[in-house]
Structure 1
Amino acid sequence: MNFQTPSEDGYNAPHARQNLAAYLSSNTPQSLRPVTAGNFGYSVSRPILAKRYFHDIFDQSLQANCPVEGWHTESGPCVYEAALAVSPVAQMADNVSIFKLICKSLGVEHGITPCFMAKPLHGLPGNSGHIHVSLNNLQGHNLFARDTPDPNPKWPDLTHLSDIGRQFLAGVITALPDIMPLLAPNINSYKRLVENYWAPVNVSWGFEDRLSSIRLVAPPSCKPSATRFEIRVPGADIHPHYALSAIFNAGMRGIKQQLEIPIPPEASRPEDQPAERLPSSLGSALERFSAKGSVAREIMGDEFVDFFALSRRHELRVWREAVTDWYIETA
């Protein structure tokens, strides 16, 4: 989401120096103006309104070796989806951080404030940080792709997914509730993960299922070499190195332990068997994350889990002490 950057005196002082922090010290975030208003997902014309800013982002990202592969409007006022070109996992983690820095740095020059909060505005979809993952061998072959379709899969969704891909999927599914603080690390992250806003709320998966936590992308929707999983839980506020580490460690755990997929895809789940809910707050997520014997401890190590949980508990404490406008408005 992209906002017009105001001066300390607001939007009616066009020649004053832009100062977002000073403006927000005496104004609510809700008073910020988006660069363009309204919901125009996949609009052809809307990007024209800030094309110089966007073109600069494309050029600078290319120079920084983190090229943008796709760019289009999404639901919400001046919300854009940027798809970074596929790259090895360590480079991708770096590229996400570099891309955000480029957007913010160029925003200063263009009078635009890009926002990577998971849920900037009430009543609108949030900012997601979907992660596409696949595994290649040293010869460049996608290990998630089947050489031939499975004639008798447990569920039709698995027809074109390899055994390694199924084990990787099982690993991510079984780890998902325990690694939530690495995919949704902030108080605000859980404002995005609610029903009716194209965000997952339970442990779920499915072929081309954009409402599930894990979307399987495979033939016939793509060529075999593009077989992959889209992890749809993360928001745009993730720490990319932590999130990618958690996802791949979870998947590799599934491969090493040859785990079976524990739940059916959403299209095959019986109505009388509700899906397990994901933690709905940072506090409940931390309980799962830091519990003795959690999958997070198994794949990330006790030292990391304890340290990261401590940092998140500090945020919880600060939040509990905060008095926001909501309390005044509802008093």
Structure 2
Amino acid sequence: MDQQAAIDFITQADISKVKYAFADVDGVLRGKIISKQKFLDGLTDGYGFCDVVWGWDCTDTPYDNGALTGWQSGYPDAPVRIDLSTLRQVPWENGIPLFLADFSQPGNTPDWVACPRSLLKRIAAQCREMGYHAEYAQEFEWFNFRETPQSLQQKGFRQLEPLTPGMFGYSMLRPSLENAFNNDLFDGLTQFDVALEGLHTETGPGVYEAAILHDEVVRAADKATLFKTAVKEIAYRHGIVATFMAKWNADLPGCSGHIHQSLWTPDGSKNLFFDASQPDRISPLMRQFIAGQLHCLPHITPMFAPTVNSYKRLVEGAWAPTTVTWSLDNRTTALRVLNRSEAYTRVEHRVSGADTNPYLAIAAALASGLYGIRHQLSLDIDPSTGNGYADTRNGVLPTNLADATRKMAQSPVAAELFGPEFVDYFTRTRDWEARQYARQVSDWELKRYFEII
């Protein structure tokens, strides 16, 4: 929908209020419900929003190392601007209009450095300037529990009841138990303009996987971000709590957020990753793109694995990669090439977990691929065959958030990709996250050391 059509719809519709939301650094949607008049009044100059949303973590605890905003600045308002092209109606909330927003600035004024959507818009603009149309999609795995927010707290997040028991990957039986929930997910998301290619159970009790239909890169990230919150909201209405934690249980598979990516001609008519005359039908451009992603990956791992918990998923034999590898249709590597036909030739980035901020993960994927093209990197490493966990020719991924954050903070590669200001802001938030974990005493420690040591 174009801008004038969106304005006309709001002006003429029989509504009294509008929702708008934006993703913070953790990918959490923050926003407000505002009156129709306030919506119309703020279209030119934006809406004041307390900049604490860039100065606290996912639990609303202020950072102690923030430089962008903090107690020292008094947490003033910053202007958030609605993107009128993102208008959709929320079908499970009586059709209330919803817009996505960001902290992008008009003209040549620098964007708010912390805003993930603004960062992705900048990377997408670079892609267009290089002559490419980026087509992206993210898929997610998540676990569902027959719980409520209140019962989670009362149980201390222990002894939770999964939606269905047992390991039933790709089951046709288990979804029939929750037919109403499944239909509301598929149909509700479609009506919400977050159309799915597929929805199925994964292996594990109460775990689902959904693939979102591909789109232009910024719209794809919008849909991925909305998908996570929409799933949770739909689940609430069925007495279910959905979690996108990377690894909620050590004995069960983790939850991925794989990113599918391809570059096309500006008019979208030709997939530039496909070349029937080349070995394995992989174009020279695609080889440079893969080389860039492999080169940059160890420098920017926190963009794909942003929490302490992320690294519990990135372990051998858990359907998630641990090595800096690529392959032809091999699910044990960091990058997986799918190239059976031109229409579907793409690179699947398998490091990214379900706990990612889609704007940041997709920005990192695109920026690192463009880095390879810009620097004309050669893909000197052959594709992995067999067990990618054993292929350490090109190095391994960081094993914890603290180490990954230190590497990114000191990396000239990260600074080139995203700008030193964003890298400084983002790595400060990840350093905070790692330190919050380091100071905790876990159940594992109590059971292991309490009596015997």
Question: Is the pair's TM-score, using the shorter chain for normalization, greater than 0.5?
Answer: yes
Give SS of 1:61's match: helix
Say how many residue pairs are matched.
304
| Offset at residue 275 of structure 1 (A) | 4.4
**Contact 1:174–1:262 under 8 Å retained in 2:** no
Instruction: Report the TM-score when normalising by structure 1.
Output: 0.88
Q: Out of 20, 26, 49, which is 2:177 matched to? A: 49
Q: Out of 304, 308, 319, which is 1:183 matched to? A: 304
Give SS of 1:128's match: coil
Give SS of 2:426's match: helix
More strand by share: 2
Instruction: Report the TM-score when normalising by structure 2.
Output: 0.65
Pairing 1:145–2:266 present? no
Q: Deviations over 1:84-140 (max 9, x none)?
A: 001111011110111111111111110000110000111111000011000111232
Q: Deviations over 1:253-299 (max 9, x none)?
A: 11111110142211299x89644110010011112211142x21110
Pairing 1:243–2:368 present? no
Taking structure 1 as reference, are residues 24 and 61 closer, same or farther at Cα in structure 2, changes over 3 Å only?
closer
Q: Which residue of 1 aligns with 2:403?
A: 284
The separation in 2 between residues aligned to 1:292 and 1:120, in whole angstroms, is 31
Give SS of 2:178's match: helix
Q: Which residue of 2 aligns with 1:2?
A: 144
The separation in 2 between residues aligned to 1:206 and 1:217, in whole angstroms, is 9
The separation in 1 between residues aligned to 2:330 and 2:158, in whole angstroms, is 33
How much identity, in percent, do the aligned residues show?
40
Deviates more, 1:182-191 or 1:222-231: 222-231
The separation in 1 between residues aligned to 2:201 and 2:242, in whole angstroms, is 14
**Contact 2:255–2:354 under 8 Å retained in 1:** yes
Q: Which residue of 2 aligns with 1:11?
A: none
Q: Which residue of 1 aligns with 2:425?
A: 307
User: 1:119-158 to 2 correspondence within 5 Å?
Assistant: 119-140=247-268, 141-146=270-275, 148-150=276-278, 153=279
Q: Out of 337, 340, 344, which is 1:226 matched to? A: 344
**Contact 1:216–1:230 under 8 Å retained in 2:** yes
Q: What is the RMSD of the two structures over their aligned residues, measured on CA atoms? A: 1.6
**Regions of 4+ moved over 2 Å:** 22-30, 271-275
Give SS of 2:197's match: strand
**Contact 1:104–1:113 under 8 Å retained in 2:** yes
In structure 2, stretches of 5+ residues that fail to align are 1-142
The separation in 2 between residues aligned to 1:302 and 1:192, in whole angstroms, is 29
**Contact 2:289–2:372 under 8 Å retained in 1:** yes
Q: Out of 242, 252, 257, which is 1:114 matched to? A: 242
**Contact 1:30–1:121 under 8 Å retained in 2:** no
Q: Which residue of 2 aligns with 1:253?
A: 371
Give SS of 1:323's match: coil
